[in-house]
């Protein structure tokens, strides 16, 4: 194929891989995903730019490091007649990462005092929150109603409890660090439910 039609070796490899996958009975979308995964793991990202001269088409492969921001590319082809520039190709990378900017902080309160835990997140799209009563990464004990950036509750017992929050958008998620809430006994104030009374007067005669 390469010699017969002067096809670039990379394109020949892609076309041959697709043909073999289809011949083996793989669905077309599975073939494309398999080829994409293979090249992604081996080379990071491959941009294919096709140039031409007066007689033949030549393929030019640009191999880059992994790309995480939208980037523009163009190519200049030169022969004996002079140079020519391609149009600009824009490689758009959706910014989908969910990043926790500020984790919730440890706090110590007395029993009966409201507690507020909050998280600050940088992400695109609609966000969902879920707070958990456990160490970070353990989803076994979700807090009922804890589905916002701020968790507010009033402890009813003393002790130490750990919390964390998971923040998600349409394509990624992030876990906060573990935060510890320590609840101590409140200060004791003595109250008198029954006021003291003096004994009644009495007389002793000898």
Q: Where are the domains of the chain?
A: 99-184
What DSSP string describes the chain? Answer: -HHHHT--HHHHHHHHHHHHHHHTT--HHHHHHHHHHHHHHHHSEEEEEEEE-SS-EEEEEEEES---S-EEE--EEEETTEEEEPPPEEE-------EEEE----EEEETT--EEEE-EEE-SS--EEEEESSSTT--SSBPTT--SSEEEE---S-EEEEEEEEEE-SS-EEEPPPEEEEEEPPPP----SS---PPPP-----
Q: For residue 39, what pLDDT is reported?
A: 54
CATH number of 99-184: 2.60.40.10
In terms of pTM, does the model score above 0.75? no
Q: For residue 55, what pLDDT is reported?
A: 37
Q: For residue 183, what pLDDT is reported?
A: 97
Q: Which residue has the tokens 């096809």?
A: 7
pLDDT in single tens digits along all 206 residues of the chain: 444 555 555 566 667 777 777 777 777 777 666 766 665 544 334 434 443 333 344 456 767 777 777 888 888 888 889 999 989 988 877 778 899 999 999 999 999 999 999 999 998 889 999 999 999 999 999 999 999 999 999 999 999 999 999 999 988 999 999 999 999 997 766 666 777 776 665 565 65
Which structure tokens are listed for 71? 């980037």
């Amino acid at each position: 194929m390469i010699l017969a039609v002067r096809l670039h070796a990379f394109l020949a490899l892609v076309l041959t891989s697709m043909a073999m996958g289809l011949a083996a009975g793989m669905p077309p979308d599975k073939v494309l995903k398999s080829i994409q995964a293979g090249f992604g793991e081996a080379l990071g990202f491959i941009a294919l730019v096709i140039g031409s001269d007066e007689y033949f088409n030549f393929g030019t492969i640009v191999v880059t490091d992994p790309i995480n921001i939208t980037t523009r590319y163009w190519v200049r082809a030169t022969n004996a007649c002079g140079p020519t520039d391609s149009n600009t190709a824009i490689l758009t990378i959706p910014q989908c990462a969910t990043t926790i900017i500020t984790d919730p902080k440890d706090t110590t309160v007395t029993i009966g005092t409201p507690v507020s835990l909050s998280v600050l997140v940088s992400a695109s799209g609609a966000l969902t929150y879920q707070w958990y009563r456990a160490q970070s990464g353990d989803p076994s004990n979700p807090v009922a109603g804890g589905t916002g950036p701020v968790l507010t509750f009033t402890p009813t017992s003393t002790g130490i409890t750990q919390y964390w929050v998971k923040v998600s958008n349409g394509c990624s998620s992030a876990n906060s660090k573990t935060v510890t809430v320590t609840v101590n006994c409140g200060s004791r104030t003595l109250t008198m439910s029954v006021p003291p009374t003096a004994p009644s007067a009495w007389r002793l005669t000898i």
